[in-house]
Amino acid sequence: MLVLMRQDATPDQIREVQLKIGELGFRAHEIPGAERTAIGITGNHGAIAPDVFTTLPGVDRAIPVSKPYKLVGREARPESSVITVGTSRIGGTELAVMAGPCSVESREQIVAAARSVRSAGARFLRGGAFKPRSSPYSFQGMKEEGLVLLREAREKTGLAIVTEVKDTGTLPAVAEVADVLQIGARNMSNFSLLEAVGELRTPVLLKRGIAATIEELLMAAEYIASRGNLQIILCERGIRTFETATRNTLDLNAIPVLKRLTHLPVIVDPSHGVGMWEAVPAMSMAAIAAGADGLMIEVHPDPASALSDGAQSLKPSRFTALMNDIRRLAPVVGRTLNEGSTT
Amino acid sequence: MLVLMRQDATPDQIREVQLKIGELGFRAHEIPGAERTAIGITGNHGAIAPDVFTTLPGVDRAIPVSKPYKLVGREARPESSVITVGTSRIGGTELAVMAGPCSVESREQIVAAARSVRSAGARFLRGGAFKPRSSPYSFQGMKEEGLVLLREAREKTGLAIVTEVKDTGTLPAVAEVADVLQIGARNMSNFSLLEAVGELRTPVLLKRGIAATIEELLMAAEYIASRGNLQIILCERGIRTFETATRNTLDLNAIPVLKRLTHLPVIVDPSHGVGMWEAVPAMSMAAIAAGADGLMIEVHPDPASALSDGAQSLKPSRFTALMNDIRRLAPVVGRTLNEGSTT
Amino acid sequence: MLVLMRQDATPDQIREVQLKIGELGFRAHEIPGAERTAIGITGNHGAIAPDVFTTLPGVDRAIPVSKPYKLVGREARPESSVITVGTSRIGGTELAVMAGPCSVESREQIVAAARSVRSAGARFLRGGAFKPRSSPYSFQGMKEEGLVLLREAREKTGLAIVTEVKDTGTLPAVAEVADVLQIGARNMSNFSLLEAVGELRTPVLLKRGIAATIEELLMAAEYIASRGNLQIILCERGIRTFETATRNTLDLNAIPVLKRLTHLPVIVDPSHGVGMWEAVPAMSMAAIAAGADGLMIEVHPDPASALSDGAQSLKPSRFTALMNDIRRLAPVVGRTLNEGSTT
Amino acid sequence: MLVLMRQDATPDQIREVQLKIGELGFRAHEIPGAERTAIGITGNHGAIAPDVFTTLPGVDRAIPVSKPYKLVGREARPESSVITVGTSRIGGTELAVMAGPCSVESREQIVAAARSVRSAGARFLRGGAFKPRSSPYSFQGMKEEGLVLLREAREKTGLAIVTEVKDTGTLPAVAEVADVLQIGARNMSNFSLLEAVGELRTPVLLKRGIAATIEELLMAAEYIASRGNLQIILCERGIRTFETATRNTLDLNAIPVLKRLTHLPVIVDPSHGVGMWEAVPAMSMAAIAAGADGLMIEVHPDPASALSDGAQSLKPSRFTALMNDIRRLAPVVGRTLNEGSTT
């Protein structure tokens, strides 16, 4: 922490800050400046609340210098983490692709989606049974029934299941089926839910909130990690900006930045990130080229009849074509994509 | 809903859209334009998902024209709602002021805060027992013990208690003490929690999310209303923008806009809205001048020793001075402020 | 400037930073921390570019601590500046109200507007002759002819003229007529234009850019001041955010913040700030209550036939009613509003 | 244009809108709805100002349906434009890479930069002689002297020169040297400058403003095109958002969106887009994978001693490595990169 005094701060006010630092058991380092005095603080472990100082007279600002997260930081663990899900790994050289419909809508739909996703070479099936929707009058998902269908789709295809958990009440039921528990963007700061999944050992896919900074995303991951679950996959899915031509603004800058700050794997959801299916292939390629460890893509057997997110869902044929492009891109960035699959 | 065809749309594509509209049981109205064809849809009750059409070939855009919220809209209820809490009313001509510390920290602290808040003329005590914090390592509130102290503060001062509920698990305990249940900005889109408070009949103070549009705030209120609880107070508390000189950007535009769109009362939280105590009085006055029905202000007996939000908390003496200014401002905007109190 | 080393920085890297500081003629102050080393820099006058250090190996961040503006800062001039325009003053206890149409459209229109504005008690007539428009196909203003009409309106009413200058080419012509030169939001970072008006001694009304931080607004003012023109009035007119219910988000937080950082007067343009006439009165009152030194409001004799900004323009009758409300509000915040005028 | 009436609009108000549409010489199409009446307008060429209707009683909103730009739109010219600069082409299958220092600082620096840039395979040298800087006290560029050095660098290397023009006053001097005139982000809405370069036939590189929507970028290009210069290259260089971990948020979504809306070539500036050199290679690869026609990258012989933007400048060796990666990526997205060059 660095405390900056106002230009007109009195010696007494400077002394008061130094005393406060002493009280807290830390060491104060005065830096007399041309314009103003700054006081460095050392001896603290973890972050100090700036307010402790900004409320003192004569103080201009207090600037935290140490990072607020520990367990998920690269400084705590220099080598990258690899999350293992069944026979697949997320964060290694092989790209992880999670694909499927926004919502589970029927047995036919989810099984058809799973088969096409698998034949295209993906190893994870995404699909929501419990859907957080901005309107109480919109389709809220098939709930428990949807979970049953997801289990069935896994049995039929061998794909790992990635599905969203929207509250602590339904967590036990969802956790029983999910191979990867998805925390949606709206719940990134739902700390009670983060703590609950932190108590489990199931891998968690944590989506960045639409207005969350990269640091806040890491602090949300720290909530999960602090409860003992380090099986965390971060997901960039677009942030909210002034631009209205696209549903969100996909922040691919976050990939190289996160790779430097954390050891956790990072994947990208271009479907929500841009919000229109025509642009999903371009943004999928961009995400992999930027260094993402994988993708989460919405694929629907019949987008025009989808109960949600139809406009941003790819048809199976387009998804297959995209997977072939990704397969050609992968080696250029030192990656591989499921060579076993037929295309 | 208005469906806009692309300039190069074929007659067949236009026909396909009209057929789709028919299938859904609605009426299509073709508007042949100089540049492109538009198709109006009528006969629908409530909103249609644009995706149903944007996924069809030849379609450029689909523009919703009816509002997605019903119960909380002015069109459903032209006269303004007034929420009654004990002997106080929120939304009437008398301004409602909710003040107190960010967190309950001790019996001494909360009782001292309550007394000073009351003597300044406020009728609601705010204070958090369960605190959602961005770091798992920060003070998380006194929890159940804090609720006991809030109850005690109410007995000693007669102030109504406004306290935050952060999850469904602790809702029963919080609801037992709270006169007004606060839903924080981070939980505005926690639909399970919104549904849960919707089942109660306790008044709910719903804070706008940091990246929530005015329409999304109204949809969150609609979630609560759709379960039968119409005792809802909306709260503007600042949104996240590019500006870093302040903690948030207080969006006072939201007051006149919300007043036109909804019958629910609207209050403002200038403490979070600007994030520095020096600016809280100015923004409090601005909120009332803009037509707010009340304020939620952080007041702490000793901000420098506060465990949270010290930098944006007013000292009791400053809060008393502010209340006197508000008392002089009120009649200018056709309001009154608790004349019973001594100043 | 404070230079933060990475946790894994080597002693050699720390030494290299200290040498660099020495080379630049400054003093380095090492602050050995629990987690990482920080190095404070003193002896510099004005800001140092952080890049000088962030490009060195082992450096994590470089944090500037001194403010980049000098002449416009409160620290340079503690007492507030008052700008005198004819018999009026901007920045004193009397509120300055600038009103009129977005564009000068005809003799009848501007003279009618001027008369109604004056009779309502305003002392400044706003009106654009040269209009920057986002479409090359939109009305671009009456140009030179508009300037002639503004001069005529001044002769007929005695109002001071506030009109926008959009480029250096037309500056001489505009400066010949303008009592106050307006720099629009789009030109806030047009440094060549800022330097040109800095060479004059005509008062300048500098509007905040839609994506400009408060600090950038002050740096733009510093450009003008650095050329010798300190007759600067700052204007908050709304920033661009994710909210689409209003044209812009009026950032009234900027008023108390600017008042603390600079000695320059600050006014508010609620017409652009909210973008709908129904909300202009509420936001005008809010701006004054927040401490603004005045207002710039769009008033048009017949908004429905306005060639630009009709939707956010007040009719003369509504403007008169607003002025009466402001007249009642003024004393509550220690201000006055032109008592001489008839209403 | 679609005019939406309020739910409580009277038949007279609806009639008034229809009359107004008739007055303007257009046709009105009434769409009686379940909730409210909508009125479609046809017969207009180009956009109508919504204000014409929103100012009428009973009107809720007016929604424009036709695009405001014409000449730069894909609908006006389905095939993509290719800009020819000397022997190079921008917008074809070969990727265009523009590289060099932020500012021209000396003969040694610019010639060294040019040589390394060329040997890495780029065909355009970027470098600023006139620099718009946010502080009046920062280095403003070598001005005319810088232009002379750029000309010299071209003679020595054969690279085409891309340099920024910051105002109309210096345009003649800059245009004499520039092979491509760069309009910086701060000047994207400097319409006088856009009109001036529109009068020339030199190719123009138009950078997106930090808060400009994609539509506003296209309208700025329309300003240039409307004066007859269609040699326009659009450049995405990052927008301003709430994220502070990076200098800007590079909006790669803009690439597929622009490719659909306009026939103009689109390149990306990852240096400003992310603001830290470590992340520039990742974002360069992402831009090409997303479909960009080229890149503008800051390269400096000695970033640590750069007078501006050192932190985001690549060393020649890193730039060469990046070019090799791009050379391997190009064929994956159906592109090529200057095969003539030695690496």
Report pLDDT digits (tens) over B110-145: 999 999 999 999 999 999 999 999 889 888 999 999
Same structural domain, C228 and C103:
yes
Of D36, D42, D240, the CB nearest to B34: D42
Q: Give the nearest chain B residue to A306 (CA atoms).
A: B52
The answer to whether the Cβ–Cβ distance between D136 and C222 falls below 8 Å is yes
B-C interface: how many C-beta pairs under 8 angstroms? 124
Nearest in space to D328 (alpha carbons), one of A324, A326, A295, A328: A328
Is A49 an 8 Å CB contact of chain D? no
- Rounded to the nearest integer, the mean pLDDT of chain A is 92
B-D interface: how many C-beta pairs under 8 angstroms? 65
D248 CA: distance to closest CA in chain A (Å): 9
B77 belongs to a structural domain: no
The three-state secondary structure class of B4 is: strand
Taking the C-alpha atoms of residue A150 and residue A125, their distance in angstroms, rounded to an integer, is 9
A10-19, A113-122, D186-195, D236-245 — which is least confidently predicted?
A: A10-19
Confirm if A235 and A296 have CB atoms less than 8 A apart: yes
Nearest in space to D297 (alpha carbons), one of D167, D80, D121: D121
Taking the C-alpha atoms of residue A273 and residue A279, their distance in angstroms, rounded to an integer, is 10
Same structural domain, C272 and C144:
yes
Confirm if C207 and C186 have CB atoms less than 8 A apart: no
Q: Give the nearest chain C residue to A43 (CA atoms).
A: C34
D30 belongs to a structural domain: yes
The answer to whether the Cβ–Cβ distance between A166 and B192 falls below 8 Å is yes
D73 belongs to a structural domain: no
The residues near D141 (Cβ < 8 Å, ≥ 6 apart) are D103, D104, D128, D129, D130, D131
The answer to whether the Cβ–Cβ distance between B186 and A190 falls below 8 Å is yes
Is B295 an 8 Å CB contact of chain C? no
Neighbours of chain C (3+ CB pairs under 8 A): A, B, D
The Cβ-side half-sphere exposure at C268, using a 13 Å CA radius, reads 32
A290 belongs to a structural domain: yes
Confidence of residue D341 (pLDDT cuts 50, 70, 90): very low
What does the pLDDT read at residue A343?
Answer: 41
Same structural domain, B25 and B142:
no
Taking the C-alpha atoms of residue D11 and residue D20, their distance in angstroms, rounded to an integer, is 14
- Regarding beta strands B160-164 and B124-126, do their DSSP bridges make them parallel or antiparallel, or are they unpaired? parallel
Confirm if A177 and A84 have CB atoms less than 8 A apart: no
What does the pLDDT read at residue B339?
Answer: 59
Q: What is the amino acid identity at position D270?
A: P
Same structural domain, D21 and D151:
no
D132 belongs to a structural domain: yes
Same structural domain, B113 and B212:
yes
The three-state secondary structure class of D106 is: coil
Neighbours of chain B (3+ CB pairs under 8 A): A, C, D
D74 belongs to a structural domain: no
What does the pLDDT read at residue B47?
Answer: 63
**B40: pLDDT strictly greater than 90:** no
The answer to whether the Cβ–Cβ distance between C169 and D168 falls below 8 Å is yes
Taking the C-alpha atoms of residue D11 and residue B30, their distance in angstroms, rounded to an integer, is 22
**B98: pLDDT strictly greater than 50:** yes
The sign of the dihedral angle between the CA atoms of B154, B160, B163, B168 is positive
Same structural domain, A46 and A177:
no
Task: Determine the average pLDDT of the residues in D199-206.
Answer: 98
Task: Determine the average pLDDT of the residues in A312-323.
Answer: 96
- Regarding beta strands D160-164 and D124-126, do their DSSP bridges make them parallel or antiparallel, or are they unpaired? parallel
Percent of chain D's residues with pLDDT above 70: 97
The answer to whether the Cβ–Cβ distance between A256 and D249 falls below 8 Å is no
Of A7, A32, A75, the CB nearest to C75: A7
Q: Give the nearest chain C residue to A68 (CA atoms).
A: C35
**D38: pLDDT strictly greater than 50:** yes
Task: Determine the average pLDDT of the residues in A93-113.
Answer: 96
The answer to whether the Cβ–Cβ distance between A2 and C2 falls below 8 Å is yes
Q: Give the nearest chain B residue to D7 (CA atoms).
A: B75
Percent of chain A's residues with pLDDT above 70: 97
Kindly state the helix (H) or strand (E) to which residue D154 belongs, with its residue range: helix D144-157
Of D54, D134, D191, the CB nearest to C219: D134
Task: Give the total number of structural domains in chain D.
Answer: 2
B53 CA: distance to closest CA in chain D (Å): 16
Is D50 an 8 Å CB contact of chain B? no
Quickly count: other Cβ atoms within 10 Å of residue A320's Cβ: 18
A301 CA: distance to closest CA in chain D (Å): 24
The answer to whether the Cβ–Cβ distance between B289 and C291 falls below 8 Å is no
Tokens 């020339």 belong to: D200
What does the pLDDT read at residue C343?
Answer: 41
Is D279 an 8 Å CB contact of chain A? yes
Tokens of B72: 């909380």
Residues C171-198 pLDDT 10s: 999 999 999 999 999 999 999 999 999 9
The answer to whether the Cβ–Cβ distance between B240 and D240 falls below 8 Å is no
Same structural domain, A289 and A223:
yes
Is D29 an 8 Å CB contact of chain B? yes
Nearest in space to C124 (alpha carbons), one of C312, C296, C7: C296
CATH code of the domain covering residue A57: 3.30.70.1140
Q: Give the nearest chain B residue to C247 (CA atoms).
A: B253
Taking the C-alpha atoms of residue A91 and residue A79, their distance in angstroms, rounded to an integer, is 11
Tokens of D199: 């009068």
Helices (H), chain A: 11-23, 51-54, 107-119, 144-157, 171-177, 191-198, 214-226, 254-261, 270-274, 280-289, 316-329
Nearest in space to C264 (alpha carbons), one of C66, C69, C77, C67: C77
Phi, psi of B265 (to 5 degrees): -65, 155
Confidence of residue A130 (pLDDT cuts 50, 70, 90): very high
- Rounded to two decimals, what is the model's pTM? 0.92
Same structural domain, C143 and C177:
yes
Residues of C numbered 83-122 whose beta carbons fall under 8 angstroms of chain D's beta carbons: which are they? none
Is B241 an 8 Å CB contact of chain D? yes
Is D175 an 8 Å CB contact of chain C? no
Interface test with A, best of C7, C24, C244 (most A CBs within 10 A): C7
Confidence of residue A40 (pLDDT cuts 50, 70, 90): confident
What does the pLDDT read at residue D343?
Answer: 41
A-B interface: how many C-beta pairs under 8 angstroms? 115
Q: C47 vs A183, C1, C69, C261, CA distance in Å?
A: 43, 8, 9, 17
Of D244, D250, D255, the CB nearest to A282: D255
Q: Give the nearest chain A residue to B67 (CA atoms).
A: A135
Is C285 an 8 Å CB contact of chain B? yes
The answer to whether the Cβ–Cβ distance between D66 and B29 falls below 8 Å is no
Last residue of a domain, one of B63, B91, B108: B63
Residues D128-173 pLDDT 10s: 999 999 889 888 999 999 999 999 999 999 999 999 999 999 999 9
**A45: pLDDT strictly greater than 90:** no
The answer to whether the Cβ–Cβ distance between A274 and D260 falls below 8 Å is no
**A260: pLDDT strictly greater than 80:** yes
Last residue of a domain, one of D10, D34, D63: D63
Residues C46-100 pLDDT 10s: 667 778 888 888 888 887 777 889 899 998 899 999 999 998 999 999 999 999 9
B78 belongs to a structural domain: no
Is D55 an 8 Å CB contact of chain C? yes
Of C38, C43, C240, the CB nearest to A65: C38
What does the pLDDT read at residue B75?
Answer: 84
What does the pLDDT read at residue D60?
Answer: 86
Confirm if D16 and D57 have CB atoms less than 8 A apart: yes
Same structural domain, C57 and C146:
no
Q: Give the nearest chain C residue to B213 (CA atoms).
A: C243
Task: Determine the average pLDDT of the residues in A197-213.
Answer: 97
Q: What is the amino acid identity at position A284?
A: S
Nearest in space to A213 (alpha carbons), one of A243, A180, A188: A188
Quickly count: other Cβ atoms within 10 Å of residue C6's Cβ: 15
Is A249 an 8 Å CB contact of chain B? no
Taking the C-alpha atoms of residue D177 and residue D163, their distance in angstroms, rounded to an integer, is 9
Nearest in space to D224 (alpha carbons), one of D72, D34, D18: D72
D122 belongs to a structural domain: yes
Radius of gyration, alpha carbons of chain A: 23
Tokens of B19: 């057929």
The Cβ-side half-sphere exposure at A147, using a 13 Å CA radius, reads 16
The answer to whether the Cβ–Cβ distance between A65 and C4 falls below 8 Å is yes
Of A213, A252, A278, the CB nearest to D286: A252
Contacts with D49 from chain C: Cβ below 8 Å: 138, 308, 310
- Considering only residues B284 and C35, tell me which one the structure prediction assigns the higher pLDDT: B284
Same structural domain, D239 and D134:
yes
Q: Is the ipTM of this complex over 0.85?
A: yes
Of C256, C260, C286, the CB nearest to B289: C286
Of A290, A328, A332, the CB nearest to D286: A290
Q: Give the nearest chain B residue to D60 (CA atoms).
A: B65
Residues D265-296 pLDDT 10s: 999 999 999 999 999 999 999 999 999 999 99
The answer to whether the Cβ–Cβ distance between D46 and C137 falls below 8 Å is yes
Is C38 an 8 Å CB contact of chain B? no
Confidence of residue A236 (pLDDT cuts 50, 70, 90): very high
Nearest in space to C73 (alpha carbons), one of C97, C44, C46, C42: C46
Phi, psi of B28 (to 5 degrees): -105, 140
Is D268 an 8 Å CB contact of chain A? no
Contacts with C260 from chain B: Cβ below 8 Å: 278
Confidence of residue D342 (pLDDT cuts 50, 70, 90): very low
Confirm if A5 and A36 have CB atoms less than 8 A apart: yes
Is A31 an 8 Å CB contact of chain C? yes
The three-state secondary structure class of A162 is: strand
Q: C312 vs A56, B175, C249, C275, C280, CA distance in Å?
A: 44, 44, 14, 5, 8
Same structural domain, A35 and A176:
no
Is C291 an 8 Å CB contact of chain B? yes
Nearest in space to C252 (alpha carbons), one of A54, B323, B238: B238
Of B215, B249, B282, the CB nearest to C290: B282
How far from the centroid of its chain's Cα atoms is residue C198's Cα? 15
Q: Give the nearest chain B residue to A219 (CA atoms).
A: B135
Q: Which domain holds residue A110?
A: 83-337
Is D192 an 8 Å CB contact of chain C? yes
Per-run averaged pLDDT (10 residues), chain C, 343 residues: 85 89 82 76 70 85 81 91 95 97 96 96 96 89 97 97 97 98 97 97 98 97 96 98 96 98 97 96 98 98 86 95 98 86 44
Same structural domain, C27 and C93:
no
CATH code of the domain covering residue C259: 3.20.20.70
Kindly state the helix (H) or strand (E) to which residue C283 belongs, with its residue range: helix C280-289
Q: A54 vs A28, A325, B248, B311, CA distance in Å?
A: 16, 54, 17, 6
Q: A242 vs A23, A272, C242, C249, CA distance in Å?
A: 46, 16, 4, 11
Tokens of B320: 């008393």
